[in-house]
Amino acid sequence: MHKSAINIFAFFLISTSLFAQDLVQWRGKNRDGVYNETGLLKQWPADGPKILWHYDLLGGGYSSALVLSDKIITTGLVDSLGYIYAIDLKGNHLWKTAYGKEWEESYPGCRSTPTFFDNKLYINSSYGRAVCLDAATGNILWNVDLAKVFGASPPKWGIVESPLVDDNKVIFSIGGKETSIAALNRLDGKTIWTSPGKDELTAYCSPLLINHKGKKIICTITAKTVLGIEFETGKVLWEYPKKNTWSVHANTPVYNDGQIYVVSGYGSGGIMLKLSDDGNSVTGLWTNTSLDNQMGGVVLIDGYLYGAGQKNRTWQCVDWKTGIMKYETGDLGKGVTIANDGLLYCYSDKGELALLKPGEKAFEIISRFKITLGSGEHWAHPVIKDKILYMRHGNALTAYSLAAE
C-alpha cells in the first residue's frame, strides 16, 4: 500500500475511534446547559427561526434530544412501553426499540434522556430498569432490573435520571434501602460497586461527575441530601442536607473552581458548597431562596447564575460569589434555561422560547416566539448542535435553523 494511503487510512481509523468514544448527554457534554456554537443568529424573525423539519410521531414524554453524528435519539411512551427513537438528521424515522414499562401515572410519559458513549446508549426507566442498546441498530445489549437486584423504588413521579458514563462504568441512581447508587460495567451490566448513600429515594437528579484536583467525584441529590461519592469505589465522601416540600431535586448540580451550586424548587432555592482541597468534605458558603428553580436548570456565565424561579416565576441573575440576586424579569413566566455565546435561550412553561441578553443591570429580551408543534407540557430541555436548535414538545421534535445568513 502506498505510504500516503496508509497515512490516510490510519488517520481515518484514529478519527473514527475517537469519535466513537464521544460522549453525548443531558444538557451538553458537561451537563451544564452551556453550548459552544458559533455563527448563530443574534436575533430571530418574529415567528421564530426557520423550521427545517419536524417529526410528529414520538410517544409521550419530556426527554431531550441526543444529537449524534448521523442521527438523533430521544424517547417516547406508547401503550405503557417506553421506546427509544432514532431519527436521521433530516427528520426521517430510522428505528425504535421498546426498552420496558414506562410511567403512566401522574404526568405520564418517558422522563429520562439517554446517554451515548462508545456507540452505545444507556437509559434508566421510570421503574428502575437499566438498559444498554447498540446506537447503530437499536438492539438491546444488556438490561438489569435495578428494582429486583437492588430494591430500587421510584419516587412519586418516577425515576428521572440520565445515566452517568465514564471509563468502564455507568452510574445509576437506585434509591433502595441498602443501595443508593450503583456502578455497572458499561459493557455487560455487571455490578462494579454499590453505595449506601443515605437510605433515601431518588430525587429526579441526573448526577454530575466532578474532576476536582485530579479526584473524580459523583455529585447527586437524593430526597433530603446532597451526596459526594468517590467515582472509583462508591465511597460516600461527604453529605449535606437539602430539603424541600416534595423531595424534588431535578437539577444537575453546577461545578466551577472547587465550588458546587445546588438548586431546587418549592421555595428551597440554592446553596453554594465549597469542596476541601482533597475533595473529602464540603462547607456551606451561602443560600439563596429567590432562585428556586424546579426542573429547568441554571447556567453559569462570567460569574453569574441565570435561571427561573418557581414561586415568583421570574428569570433571575444571581452572583456566583455571593448569592445575591442582581436583577430579574417577570415577562416570560418560568421554565428551562440553556445558553450559547453569552445569550440565554429561555423556554417557558407557557410554550414560548425567548432569546435574552444578560446586561449589567437588566435582561434584554431580543426575540421571542411560540412553540406551536407538539402537545402537552413544555418541559423538555432544548439542545443546540451544528447551528440547529432542537425543541422537544410531547409527541413532536422540531429542528430550527440558527445559522446566521
Predicted confidence at residue 177, as pLDDT, reads 81
Q: Tell me the residue range of the domain where 396 lies.
A: 39-56+296-405
Do 150 and 67 lie in one domain? The reply is yes
Instruction: Tell whether 230 is covered by a domain.
Output: no
Other C-beta atoms within 10 Å of 178: how many? 11
Q: Which of 143, 171, 202 is the endpoint of a domain? A: 202
| Farthest-apart Cα atoms in the chain, separation | 69
Domain-located, residue 23: no
Residue 1 has pLDDT above 60, yes or no: no
77 and 165 in a common domain: yes
pLDDT tens for residues 124-180?
A: 999 999 999 999 999 999 999 999 999 988 999 999 999 999 999 999 999 888 899
Under a CB-based contact definition with an 8 Å cutoff, are residues 224 and 264 in contact?
no
Tens of pLDDT, residue by residue over 216-227, are 999 999 999 999
Q: Identify whether 221 is part of a domain.
A: no
**Distance between CA atoms of residues 316 and 298, nearest Å:** 10
Residue 222 lies in a domain: no
Residues 8-25, mean pLDDT to the nearest whole number: 55
Same domain membership, residue 129 and residue 48: no
Is pLDDT at 12 greater than 50 in this prediction? no
Shared domain check, 75 and 47: no
Decide if 77 is inside a domain.
yes
Q: Report residue 263 CA to chain centroid gap.
A: 14
So what's the pLDDT on residue 18?
A: 41
Q: Which three cell numbers stand for residue 322?
A: 455571593
In a domain, 5, yes or no: no
Question: What would the grid cell of residue 265 be?
Answer: 424548587
Residues 44 and 79 in one domain: no
For residue 341, give the C-alpha cell.
Answer: 455565546
DSSP 297-345: --EEETTEEEEE-SSS--EEEEETTT--EEEEE-SS-SEEEEEETTEEE
Q: Are residues 51 and 120 in the same domain?
A: no
Please report the pLDDT score of residue 15 as a whole number.
40
What's the pLDDT at 376? 95
Distances (CA, A) of 140 to 84, 133, 151, 188, 267: 11, 4, 23, 11, 41
Is residue 305 in some structural domain?
yes
pLDDT at 153: 87
CATH number of residue 195's parent domain: 2.40.128.630
Mean pLDDT of 84-96: 98
Query: What number is the average pLDDT over the span 58-71?
Result: 97
Is the same domain home to 79 and 95?
yes
User: For residue 14, is pLDDT > 50?
Assistant: no
> What's the number of domains the chain is made of?
2
| pLDDT score at 198 | 83
Q: Which CATH number is 341's domain given?
A: 2.130.10.10
In the numeric block, which cell numbers belong to residue 329? 424579569
User: 365 and 345 in one domain?
Assistant: yes
In this prediction, residue 21 has a pLDDT band, given cuts at 50, 70 and 90, of low
Query: What pLDDT was estimated at residue 5?
Result: 45
- Whether 264 maps to a domain, the answer reads no
Of 202, 236, 252, the position where a domain reaches its end is 202
User: Could you give the strand order of the β-sheet that contains 164-166, starting from the edge strand earlier in sequence?
Assistant: 164-166, 169-173, 181-185, 191-195
Same domain, 51 and 74: no
Question: CA 123, CA 108: separation in Å to the nearest integer?
Answer: 17
Question: What average pLDDT is seen over the chain?
Answer: 94
Question: Each residue of 228-276: pLDDT tens digit?
Answer: 999 999 999 999 999 999 999 999 999 999 999 999 999 999 999 999 9
Last residue of a domain, one of 202, 224, 255: 202
pLDDT (mean) for 105-133: 97
pLDDT digits (tens, 9 = 90+) for 365-379: 999 999 999 999 999
Both 119 and 43 in a single domain?
A: no
What single-letter DSSP state applies at residue 207? P
pLDDT at residue 20, as a whole number = 43
Query: What is the mean pLDDT of the segment spanning 327-333?
Result: 95
Q: Say yes or no: 49 and 137 in one domain.
A: no
Q: Are residues 80 and 197 in the same domain?
A: yes
